[in-house]
Structure 1
Amino acid sequence: MASWIIQMTVMVLSVFISGGQGKRDKVLYCSACKAIVDELNHSISQVDPKKTINVGGFRLNPDGTMKDKKVPLARSETHLNELLDGVCNSMSDYALYVDPDTQHKQYKRFAPRESGFTGDFPDFKNFQFAGPETTPNPLKFACETLVEELEDDIISLFSQDAEHVHEELCNRVSEYCSDSSHANEEL
């Protein structure tokens, strides 16, 4: 009897777990993935490229000197972990945007960044802002979910300074932007 209960529990959990990701809103999760990449790229670009950090085991060599390695701070695992801890807080600067010509939906940044705004202001009439009754921010929730699930992949891609991180992370790794309607669009 106990083994039957265990088998049923395992079966129900496997259905629940495998079905959970399939039911996620692709527009929301694709946009969250792209926003993570965009925000991290921006944060990394704000770090002085001359700043380095010591990494390694800090072991002593036979001659008594320390064995460590200096790497650029901006793409160090330590710095990337710090950035990941706060990246989802910027999701309040994004809102659902509906393209007036194609009716294609995606979350886009509407707020200028603190470090100086050089572009045009977006056309706010094509954004859909959630009202105050919508306390939980769905994009922030999607961001937090992706950071939790993909943390190792995110750190690996950014520490390697990989080209086309959004394509690799959002199309191949997470597959949320893998269909042709979201794949190559920028935020």
Structure 2
Amino acid sequence: MAVAMVRIAMIFAIFSVAFCIDDKCAACNAVAEELEFGLSNEKPRNHLDMRHRLDSKGQRKGKRCEEEREVPGGARGLVVRVSELRVVELLDGLCEKMQDYTLEKIDSTRREWVKVDDWDNITTNKQEARAYSKDISSYCGRLLEETEDELADLIKKGSVKTGEVSKVLCQDLSKHCSVTSSPPIRWLIMKMMMMHLKNS
């Protein structure tokens, strides 16, 4: 009886690890979607002119605050200028915005991260939905802790194009999503269970 309980516990452990891996990829894609939305809505801003002195020819001397670089993004492929300060603001506010997301059941086997427009009109268990929103917000913090420096550099250089945020963040930087599609996790788990039952 004890051996059977250990086997069942191992199967549940396998399931929980598999679902955790699926959730990381799905959660990363939700974070990437929110970041892409922020980047696409980025408007050009004027930088602060801190050049207070004039040279002998009457030209201003000094530096400008916020050196800006062109970043592909925005509607219809327009080039948007994103400064270092704006990249910091985009990434700093990102995880707070993820608190508007929750995990929603799509069908009997799938769940998906969705943005909640009105928490009062949510049809599922509100307490559970809020717990999921805290989970993805915490996940976002860990994700940015791992990738923030590289991601910020890529955005400032213009290497992150519209439609590619998910690939850059979830595949290239964090590796939370695989590049190639693999067999469904449930299929692999069922195969492992069948092999285990045959051997016992």
Q: TM-score scaled to structure 2, two decimals? A: 0.54
* Residue-by-residue CA offset, 1:127-177 (whole Å, 9 max, x unaligned): 775438949811111001001111012212322252312112201221111
Question: Is the aligned partner of 1:41 residue 2:36?
Answer: yes
Question: Is the aligned partner of 1:162 residue 2:160?
Answer: yes
**SS where residue 137 of structure 1 aligns?**
helix
Question: Is the aligned partner of 1:151 residue 2:148?
Answer: yes
- Once residues 130 and 38 of structure 2 are traced to their aligned partners in structure 1, the CA distance between those partners, rounded to angstroms, is 31
**C-alpha deviation, 1:48, in angstroms:** 2.4
* Residue-by-residue CA offset, 1:103-133 (whole Å, 9 max, x unaligned): 2333222327xxxxxxxxxxx66x7754389
Change (3 A) 1:80 1:167: same
Name stretches of at least 5 consecutive residues in structure 1 with no aligned partner: 1-21, 56-60, 113-123, 182-187
> Identical aligned pairs, as a percentage?
26
**Which residue of structure 2 lines up, in the alignment, with residue 104 of structure 1?**
110
User: Mapping of 1:29-108 within 5 angstroms?
Assistant: 29-49=24-44, 51-53=45-47, 65-66=61-62, 69-71=67-69, 75-100=82-107, 103-108=109-114
Name the structure with the higher helix share: 2
**Which residue of structure 2 lines up, in the alignment, with residue 173 of structure 1?**
173
**SS where residue 47 of structure 2 aligns?**
strand
**Which residue of structure 2 lines up, in the alignment, with residue 8 of structure 1?**
none
Kept in 2: contact 1:52–1:71 (CA 8 A): no
Change (3 A) 1:90 1:70: closer
Structure ID, larger Rg: 2
The CA RMSD measured in Å over matched residues stands at 4.0
- Once residues 129 and 28 of structure 2 are traced to their aligned partners in structure 1, the CA distance between those partners, rounded to angstroms, is 24
**C-alpha deviation, 1:93, in angstroms:** 1.6
**Aligned counterpart in structure 1 of residue 136 of structure 2, from 110, 122, 139:** 139
**SS where residue 97 of structure 1 aligns?**
strand
**Which residue of structure 2 lines up, in the alignment, with residue 116 of structure 1?**
none
Aligned residues between the structures: 143
Change (3 A) 1:33 1:135: closer
**C-alpha deviation, 1:85, in angstroms:** 1.4
- Once residues 177 and 132 of structure 1 are traced to their aligned partners in structure 2, the CA distance between those partners, rounded to angstroms, is 24
- Once residues 151 and 105 of structure 2 are traced to their aligned partners in structure 1, the CA distance between those partners, rounded to angstroms, is 28
